[in-house]
Structure 1
């Protein structure tokens, strides 16, 4: 098996390693881009430094990737307003056809001589523990790895990145919640290569903690842990994988990584070690389902899918997807609480957004049982009895049908009261939907307008979300 493993890895390494021509092309382009950026920044009233960061700086990019990350460092005492203004001014001059993106602060994205460029302003701080914005530590990451990555380790990093891309867990964006490039590089470096990384991952028992620089006691006095990727500034390291940032002991590099993606890596690490094959390095994109195929899938499962569809809020993915996940969880929890038994759920987004939930129970009886306290718990029992006895006589203010009871079942009072919603559609089309935990922008979009699709009607989603539905109805690890 070792020979098979080595043969597959060698073939992948050859495929993902940039050749001399590509390296020279990148070198020349980044040189011209840096000169152009330095010239644009020279007109500013402050001193700046321009630094190349990311995989292109560390020679760990995959052949064919044409992404360049260039950072403009500003003095640490510059106020945030001017940092943003100067950063965008340089961005407009260097990338006149570019567009503004926003993470913690705005930056410019555009094309330069066939390469996709992120031009990002940051603060030139003394060290990564003194950051004023999350991106300030990126140059320290580049310097740390440049000093430690030799050609052999860099080659294994590229293979690891290709593997993580192939199994669908590469990228720390908040849609994917996977492995970032920096995290991948640290893991390969820490374990000593691609094979040892897979061997270790296959046997992980989360939570797993790695501390590349043995910060140890230093962490005891470090500020509260930072989790920049998910927007929280005061969280403990309770993630399934913790990799202490070697430049900043208060940060988990793997904070954005979801438990599901840790588990997926473990599954495919074991699968590749048991049966090495090149297909695992290629993303497995399913054929999109058409409307008929969706209807067939629904009929075969015998469940009732429901979908809440609305215009996707105008947000970048890192803002949109956390809100979609929160909204999906909130709706699913309320449907469960109301007895509709959510079998599985998902969220999709393009021009439209979808909260997709598959129900084991589509309709409920007109009444629901409500257990009261044991009769022998005198005060509580009396309060329960009097409340529902009054409702039975029409003495309460509710407009619902009077309850059946109270009566005694076993040792406690019970009533059978009118159910507020007898179908999932009724609930989803009611104002009660807005009482669940929704993302703020998702809630605003729903307030503007939304549609509810039930059963076979979800087949209408196939035109826009055929691939997402194919993944849903044919799930893989």
Structure 2
């Protein structure tokens, strides 16, 4: 099938309508006017500006995020800077919430739009950066400049964003760990358009390095390195994981080989039902164990790194104990779930514990003394080493997870606190208790498919 009709159809669906544009503009102007009034009341000479994809006309239809920046004078010290930012944000959104990145900012609702009011310093160049958000106005200026060099720049970026979303790799948040909007804009600029990006990506082999000028720092790392044209010390693609990188390559090759609208709009999996889940875990013959606890009340960019840290610690400890882990996953909504599926879910009551080689006299003698009167089999000699067979401390995966030893693994701060407050352990068919909340997640876990 020809690609052009598909791309036209996709573009019609992902491009904001005139009504959407008007509604967003009205919402922004309402916020801007209140912010300017509040800023004037602080006595600080600053400006209010729209940033991000909505300012650069590369946003997707349906996006409900508006980023409003307060450009504040560099004479403000950090404490005054944060105070002014919060005072203005709270004046605009009295019922808003305070969120935290490198510094606090206020988030609120304006006519159904999620609006962030973020302070930054009004700088003359990126050589004066004081925080990551200070780059954003420079990104705006840069993208507006390069957009003039391309025909239909906004549409080409929208296609790439929609394609990345279909592949599950659009979003630089720490849940997705994929392509940011700014990265999509830079890729379209580098290669010329959506189709050219996809053709290039299909041949990518890590590491891929893209630079806007002469070679810069060698300190940047990752499968994809895109040097920020406004700050050469920064990799715009630093959050992109090996898996996200590979998914984008795979999707690009499938688009080139057999273009299909479903690559932009894949169908969501149907939630698995209780009978199917029980049958699946029985047929697999593994032991599926879910650790379930209340999800901490923190933003995703804090939650998911903490969940992954806890997941990694759990899997590493289970592997050390001899449980062969087939796969593991994390889910989060109202509850948080760390799922582990073990090829070996239950072991014998006894384990072999090798000691030092017999010829290492001091350590070998100490090993023999330690176990001489202990309740073990041995010591005996095997392959030149002293060996004992001792009682295994944990014989099942779920037994370990229910033990106090589980509470000693490495966790993220807030995740660890919730686990210590109490958690449930579900095994195999008991995981059906989670289907009301995570039915689609389990369907995707047991039958993973490429978009």
Q: Is the contact made by 1:166 and 1:284 (CA closer than 8 Å) also made in structure 2?
A: no
Q: How many angstroms does 1:361 deviate by?
A: 1.1
Matched, 1:172 2:185: no
Secondary structure at the aligned position of 2:146 is classed as: coil
**3-state SS of paired residue (1:365):** coil
Structure 1 residue 330 corresponds to structure 2 residue 313: yes
1:415 is aligned to: 388
Pair 1:52–1:310, CA change in 2 (3 A): same
The C-alpha deviation readout for 1:23-42, integer Å capped at 9, x for no partner, is 44444443443233222211
Structure 1 456/63 Cα, relative in aligned 2: closer, same or farther at 3 Å?
closer
Residue by residue over 1:256-310, the C-alpha shift from the partner in whole angstroms, topping out at 9 and shown as x without a partner, is: 1121111111111101110111111114311112322221221121111011111
Aligned to 2:76: 78
Which structure 1 residue ranges, 4+ long, deviate > 6 Å from structure 2?
none
Give the 3 Å change call, closer, same or farther, for CA 424–24 of structure 1 in structure 2. closer
1:40-59 correspondence runs (5 A): 40-59=38-57
Listed one character per residue, the Cα deviations across residues 443-469 of structure 1 (whole Å, up to 9, x for unaligned) are 111111111112211121112111111
Q: 2:296 aligns with which of 299, 313, 316?
A: 313
Q: In structure 1, the residue corresponding to 2:268 is in which secondary structure? A: coil
Q: Does 1:356 align with 2:302?
A: no
Q: Name the SS of the counterpart of 2:68 in structure 1.
A: strand
Distance in 1 (CA, whole Å) between partners of 2:18 and 2:418 is 50
From 203, 225, 228, the counterpart of 1:242: 225
| Aligned residue number for residue 261 of structure 1 | 244
- Return the offset for 1:315: 1.0
Match of 1:463 in 2: 436
Trace 1:205-224 onto structure 2 (pairs within 5 A). 205-214=205-214, 216-217=215-216, 219=217
Partner Cα distance (1:476, 1:129) in 2? 45
Distance 2:82 2:376 in 1: 62
1:357 and 1:245 map into 2 onto residues whose CA distance is: 38
The answer to whether the 8 Å contact 2:177/2:244 transfers is yes
Alpha carbons 1:210, 1:244 under 8 Å: kept: yes
C-alpha distance after superposition, 1:286-345 (max 9, x if no partner): 111232222122112111101111111121111111000000010011011101111100
| 8 Å CA contact retained: 1:311, 1:445 | yes
Look up the match of 2:418.
Answer: 445
1:164 Cα deviation from its structure 2 partner: 0.8
| Aligned position for 2:124 | 126
- Determine helix, strand or coil for the equivalent of 1:265: helix
Instruction: Give the superposition deviation at 1:186.
Output: 0.7
Aligned pairs for 1:430-441 within 5 A: 430-441=403-414
The CA distance in 2 between the partners of 1:438 and 1:7, in whole Å, is 49
- Measured in 2, the distance between the counterparts of 1:259 and 1:311 equals 30
Q: 1:428 aligns with which of 394, 401, 423?
A: 401
Inter-partner Cα distance in structure 1 for 2:95 and 2:358: 75
Q: Secondary structure of 2:152's match?
A: helix
Structure 1 stretch displaced more, 77-86 or 15-24? 15-24
Question: What does the per-residue CA deviation read over 1:328-374, in whole Å, with 9 as the maximum and x for residues that have no partner?
Answer: 01001101110111110011111211111001111111111112233
Distance 2:157 2:22 in 1: 20
- In 1, are the aligned partners of 2:172 and 2:178 still within 8 Å (CA)? yes
Q: What is the match of residue 263 of structure 2?
A: 280
CA contact (8 A) 1:364 1:423 kept: yes
Select which of 58, 61, 77 maps to 1:60.
Answer: 58
Equivalents in 1 of 2:367, 2:114: separation in Å?
66
Aligned position for 1:224: none
In the alignment, the residues of structure 1 paired with residue 273 and residue 120 of structure 2 have an alpha-carbon distance, to the nearest angstrom, of 46
8 Å contact from structure 2 (residues 221, 238) kept in 1: no
Q: 2 CA distance for matches of 1:430 and 1:82?
A: 49
What is the CA–CA distance in structure 1 between the aligned matches of 2:20 and 2:403, rounded to whole Å?
58
| Structure 1, 89-98 or 189-198: larger mean CA deviation | 89-98
The runs of 5 or more residues in structure 2 that have no matched partner are none
Are the aligned partners of 1:165 and 1:283 in contact in 2 as well (CA < 8 Å)? no
CA distance in 2: counterparts of 1:58 and 1:345, whole angstroms: 39
Name stretches of at least 5 consecutive residues in structure 1 with no aligned partner.
Answer: 221-235, 395-401
Give the distance between the partners of 1:21 and 1:324, measured in 2 at CA: 40
